[in-house]
Amino acid sequence: MYNPSKKDDAGDQIRVAIADDHILFRAGVKTALTMHKDIRMVAEADNGMQLLNLLKHITPDVILLDIQMPIMDGITTLPEIKKLYPEVKVIMLTMHNDHSMISKLMELGANAYLTKNSDSEVIYEAVKTVFEQEYFFNQLTNKALIDGLRHKRQVEANAPSDAKLTDKEITILKMMCEEKSTKEIADLVDLSPRTVEAIRDKLKTKTGAKSMAGLVMYAVKSGIIKQ
């Protein structure tokens, strides 16, 4: 277990924790990420329970969370992290490209989903992106969300197709689906970031979506963006 050190002059670094029961994989990720000066590893755990105990003492900015672990796996741990520490970004790690699992985890609040054979620079990019823009979408997650729509249309009662969106709300929703940050959207539509965040919350209420992944699903289903 890696004990977190006190915050020092590197206050502008992204604080990262990793929970994975494969020691060699953990070591490889730590080594690759800490080669970047803007990353600081602050904790590591063998399973979800150990991670939750660590989070009582230190709150990282981003957590790399393995799906399959003994004692407490990532699927069980993710909702607990989001309930107790909603501001912490979580990147799910797995060996499998399971589209139904990706869709489920994004709905539960995961900010990104990567396979363990991802290049180290992709993992770094995902950490940076979720920290700065909340979500990291890639071909894997996008295809999974679309496939999730195809298989769950009958049970997607939380995304009514007759939601009445204004032109401004549709414009902002499109930009969100294009992975633009809140600040970028605010600049483009001449609004404050706080107003854009308020519109995002209103979009969730109107569409029944519980997360950004849910908004993407709604946008695809309603034809606002094309598959």
pLDDT, tens only, 59-76? 999 999 999 999 999 999
More confident residue, 149 or 68: 68
Domain that holds residue 167: 157-221
Instruction: Report the CATH number at residue 126.
Output: 3.40.50.2300
Residues 140 and 168 in one domain: no
Q: For the chain, how many structural domains are there in total?
A: 2
Q: In this predicted structure, what is the pLDDT of residue 152?
A: 54
Listed residues 147, 171, 189: the one ending a domain: 147
pTM above 0.75, yes or no: no
134: left (phi over 0), alpha (psi -120 to 50) or beta: left
Tokens standing for residue 158 = 């939380």
- How far is the C-alpha of 50 from the C-alpha of 92, rounded, in Å? 17
Is the same domain home to 37 and 141? yes
Residues 115 and 179 occupy one common structural domain:
no
The one-letter code for the residue type at 48 is G
Q: Is residue 8 part of a domain?
A: no
Residue ending a domain, choose from 147, 166, 183 = 147
Whether residues 136 and 183 share a domain: the answer is no
Give the type of residue at 141. Answer: T
Annotate 130-149 with DSSP letters as a single string: HHHHS----HHHHHHHHHHH
Q: What is the pLDDT of residue 106?
A: 85
Q: Does residue 26 share a domain with residue 117?
A: yes
Residue 3 lies in a domain: no
pLDDT in tens, 170-181: 999 999 988 889
Q: What is the CATH number of the domain that holds 200?
A: 1.10.10.10
**114 and 183 belong to one structural domain:** no
- 79 and 99 share a domain? yes
Handedness of CA 22, 24, 29, 30 (dihedral sign): positive
Predicted pLDDT at 10? 53
Q: Which of 125, 40, 112 is nearest to 74 (CA)?
A: 112
Looking at the structure, tell me whether residues 163 and 141 fall in a common domain.
Answer: no
With respect to residue 226, please indicate whether it lies within any of the assigned structural domains. Answer: no
Q: Is residue 109 part of a domain?
A: yes
